[in-house]
Structure 1
Amino acid sequence: MSRSEGPHRSFLPIGNPFKMMMHKTSHLPSTVLTAFEKNLAERFRQLKPNNASDVITFSWMKSALGSISETLHDVRNLIVDLELPICSWDIKWVDIYLENSLNLLDFCSAYGTDIVRQRFGYVMLKCALLDLESDNPKKFMQASSSLHEWRQYQSCYDNSKLHECCDVIRKLEETLNLPKIKNIPKAKDLVRAMYGLKVQTMFIFSICVAAFSTSLRTLVDLQVPKQYLWQESFTDLQAVMNGEIKNVYASGEIFPLKELRLVDQNVKKLFPLLHDGLGEITQEVFDGYCTELRDSNEKFLSGLDDIKSEMDRFFKVVVDGRMALLDNFQQQQPRSGMQQQVRM
Structure 2
Amino acid sequence: MSRPLDAHPARSFFSFGNTFRVIAPKGSRMSLQLLALLQAFEARLAERMSKLTFKSKDEILSLSWMTSAMELLRDTCNDIRTLISDLELPVSNWDDKWIDIYMDISRNVLDICNVFISEFSRLNTCNLSLKYALHNFGGATSKLFARACSSLHDWKHHVHSKNPRIEKCSTILDNLMGSLGPLKVKNSAKGKVLMQAMYGVKVQTVFVCSVFAAAFSGSTKKLIHLNVADMYSWAPAFSRLQSLINEEIRARLSNGKFSVLIELEVTDAIVKEFNPSIQVDAETINTESLLKTVEELRKAEEKLSQGLDLLAKGVDGLFKVILISRDDLIYAVLSPSNFS
List runs of 5+ in structure 2 lacking aligned partners: 1-28
How many residues end up aligned between the 2 structures?
308
Asked if the contact 1:37–1:229 (Cα under 8 Å) also holds between the matched residues in 2, the reply is yes
| CA–CA separation in structure 1 for the residues paired with 2:82 and 2:223 | 31
Partner of 1:143: 148
2:53 pairs, out of 48, 55, 58, with 48
**For the aligned residues, what is the CA RMSD?**
2.8
Helix, strand or coil at the partner of 1:49:
coil
2:76 is equivalent to residue 71 of structure 1: yes
TM normalised by structure 2 equals 0.82
| CA–CA separation in structure 2 for the residues paired with 1:34 and 1:65 | 23
| Distance change (3 Å), C-alpha of 1:231 and 1:331 | same
TM normalised by structure 1 equals 0.81
Q: How much does 1:215 deviate?
A: 1.6
Within 5 A, what are the aligned runs for 1:136-215?
A: 136-157=141-162, 159-177=163-181, 183-186=186-189, 187-215=191-219
Q: How much does 1:282 deviate?
A: 8.0
Partner of 1:258: 262
Q: How much does 1:219 deviate?
A: 1.7
| Distance change (3 Å), C-alpha of 1:294 and 1:197 | same
Identity %: 34
Choose 186-195 or 161-170, whichever is displaced more: 161-170
2:118 is equivalent to residue 113 of structure 1: yes
| Distance change (3 Å), C-alpha of 1:334 and 1:50 | farther
| CA–CA separation in structure 1 for the residues paired with 2:164 and 2:122 | 7
| CA–CA separation in structure 1 for the residues paired with 2:337 and 2:253 | 52
2:129 is equivalent to residue 124 of structure 1: yes
List runs of 5+ in structure 1 lacking aligned partners: 1-25, 336-344
| CA–CA separation in structure 2 for the residues paired with 1:97 and 1:103 | 10
| CA–CA separation in structure 2 for the residues paired with 1:281 and 1:219 | 45
Q: How much does 1:281 deviate?
A: 10
Partner of 1:341: none
Partner of 1:36: 41
2:320 is equivalent to residue 316 of structure 1: yes
2:82 is equivalent to residue 81 of structure 1: no
Helix, strand or coil at the partner of 2:273:
helix
Choose 36-45 or 87-96, whichever is displaced more: 87-96
| CA–CA separation in structure 2 for the residues paired with 1:160 and 1:79 | 38
Asked if the contact 2:332–2:338 (Cα under 8 Å) also holds between the matched residues in 1, the reply is no
Q: How much does 1:258 deviate?
A: 1.2
| CA–CA separation in structure 2 for the residues paired with 1:145 and 1:130 | 12
Asked if the contact 2:54–2:60 (Cα under 8 Å) also holds between the matched residues in 1, the reply is yes
